[in-house]
Amino acid sequence: MKGLSSLERIILEGIGKGVLVYEEIQKQTGLNENVCYNILQALIIRGLVKTDGIKYRISESLSPLIIEEINGKEAKEAEYLELMEAVVEQQEDRVFRLQKIAMDSRDEKIFVAMLSNLESFLADAHKKAHASVSVKDRKVVFWGMGNVDKIITQIVTGK
């Protein structure tokens, strides 16, 4: 088994802890009917989703090994990369900024504190609205900071 694609993960997030009929899953995810159906079938084959023919739910019998494979570091990194590439390529309804900034150590500490505040805000916003906002209507937000010299080394060495 491999990790999950973003579309597979969206369907699993749409189902969540509930038991949903196909139409509810499609409404939650906003996926085209054929795409949604095919991905659901693939998730059933992989044993991640169970169905009685009408209703779908996430399998309760997932082993720790499978959970690690779909939610582990490599799987998350692949999903983040896929989402970030899609945001960068998106032509409308996006807010995306990327800059190389000169910062002294004081400003860097302030920025890290601001990121911590942003993270708290986002966690609170998600907690407050996750039950009422469908998966398709959620936002993809990413933030962070890296050192140019380390990024250049990574680009050159591929590591």
The pLDDT of residue 62? 84
- Residues 39-55: what's their mean pLDDT? 94
The residue among 37, 71, 93 that closes a domain is 93
* Helix boundaries (H) for 16-137: 22-29, 33-45, 64-71, 73-89, 105-129
Query: Which of 65 and 109 is assigned the larger pLDDT?
Result: 109
* Model confidence at 144: pLDDT above 70: yes
- Residues 72-80: what's their mean pLDDT? 85
- 22 with 82, same domain? yes
- 102 with 130, same domain? yes
The pLDDT of residue 2? 66
- 28 with 10, same domain? yes
The residue among 93, 122, 150 that closes a domain is 93
pLDDT category of residue 72 using cuts at 50, 70 and 90: confident
Do 118 and 12 touch, CB atoms closer than 8 A? no
Domains held by the chain: number: 2
* Model confidence at 33: pLDDT above 80: yes
- Long-range Cβ contact pairs of 61-65 (< 8 A, separation 24 or more): none
The pLDDT of residue 67? 83
- Say what the pTM is: 0.74
- 41 with 66, same domain? yes
Do 28 and 20 touch, CB atoms closer than 8 A? yes
- Residues 111-128: what's their mean pLDDT? 96
- Give the CATH number, domain containing residue 50: 1.10.10.10
Q: Which domain holds residue 152?
A: 97-159
* Model confidence at 20: pLDDT above 90: yes
Query: Which of 97 and 51 is assigned the larger pLDDT?
Result: 51
* Model confidence at 88: pLDDT above 90: no
- 6 with 21, same domain? yes
Report the helix count and the strand count for the chain, using DSSP H and E: 7, 3
Query: Which of 21 and 143 is assigned the larger pLDDT?
Result: 21
The pLDDT of residue 123? 96
* Complete edge-to-edge strand list for the sheet that includes strand 20-21: 20-21, 55-58, 49-51
Query: Which of 61 and 133 is assigned the larger pLDDT?
Result: 133
